[in-house]
Amino acid sequence: MSSSLSPGVWLDGVLPVNAALGSGTVLIGDDAFKRFQSKRDSALVVGMNCTLDGVQLATGTGGHIEIGDYCHLSSTILLAEVSLRIGSYVIIGWNTTIADCDFHPMDPALRIEDAIACYTLSQGRTRPPALTAPIDIGDNVFIGPCVAILKGVRIGERAFIEPGSVVTRDVPARARVLGNPARIVGEEA
């Protein structure tokens, strides 16, 4: 981020102290930080000249989100318990969710504990742990609308994720993927 240019802005509020938007970056939406709980010093780092329109940034206390330069995200939910990295020149379509965590345990008995802990009046009960794994999205990636990208996935540069896909495993560079679960159906030029 260049210090000679003015920093980015959140049009609907004051940025948390552990969030940084690069010059020319615009964040739009009342709910952007509604579930942003990270205590890390640099919990959110966004590069220059990005548009984050209607993006929800949900983090756990140790979560970190990094977004490169010249990205456009529209009505996207980014969920980070550990780490979510998005490269530069990435376009993400509306109603896409990217989550580095299951957020709820798989074990039925632990799900009961989790449901009780999530109850609004639970008086500070601790939630049981859920599985987590970082997500890494390379440069110049297109992610269509209504996509789900799940924990531990790496998406190579210039990949193309078709609308409605559910990405559960790594996507090679320049691959075009489609479906639930997403599978390779072609290659980008």
What rounded mean pLDDT belongs to the chain? Answer: 93
Model pLDDT for residues 59-87, shown as the tens digit of each residue: 999 999 999 999 999 999 999 999 999 99
| pLDDT value at 2 more than 50 | no
Residue type, 42: S
Residue with tokens 């799900």: 111
Task: Output the pLDDT for position 123.
Answer: 76
What is the C-alpha separation between 49 and 72, in angstroms, rounded? 9
Task: Output the pLDDT for position 8.
Answer: 87
What is the C-alpha separation between 139 and 133, in angstroms, rounded? 20
The answer to whether 39 and 21 are in contact (CB under 8 A) is no
Run of H or E including 33 = none
Sign of the four-CA dihedral 135, 1, 32, 96: negative
The answer to whether 126 and 154 are in contact (CB under 8 A) is no
From the list 50, 56, 61, 54, the residue with the least C-alpha distance to 25 is 50
The residues with which 151 forms a beta bridge, in sequence order, are none
Task: Output the pLDDT for position 6.
Answer: 60
The larger pLDDT score, comparing residue 15 to residue 122, is at 15
| pLDDT value at 3 more than 70 | no
Q: What positions carry a catalytic annotation?
A: 104
Evaluate if pTM is beyond 0.85.
yes
Model pLDDT for residues 29-39, shown as the tens digit of each residue: 999 999 999 99
Q: Among 30-44, 94-108, 154-168, 174-188, whose mean pLDDT is lowest?
A: 94-108
Task: Output the pLDDT for position 4.
Answer: 45
The answer to whether 23 and 48 are in contact (CB under 8 A) is yes
Sign of the four-CA dihedral 54, 55, 60, 66: negative
Q: What are the extents of the domains in the chain? A: 9-104+131-187
* CB-based contacts of 123, cutoff 8 Å, min separation 6: none
What is the C-alpha separation between 166 and 98, in angstroms, rounded? 10
The answer to whether 13 and 30 are in contact (CB under 8 A) is yes
Task: Output the pLDDT for position 101.
Answer: 93
pLDDT bucket at 1, cuts 50 / 70 / 90: very low
| pLDDT value at 164 more than 60 | yes
What is the C-alpha separation between 16 and 35, in angstroms, rounded? 12
CATH 2.160.10.10 fits 9-104+131-187, yes or no: yes
The larger pLDDT score, comparing residue 43 to residue 119, is at 43
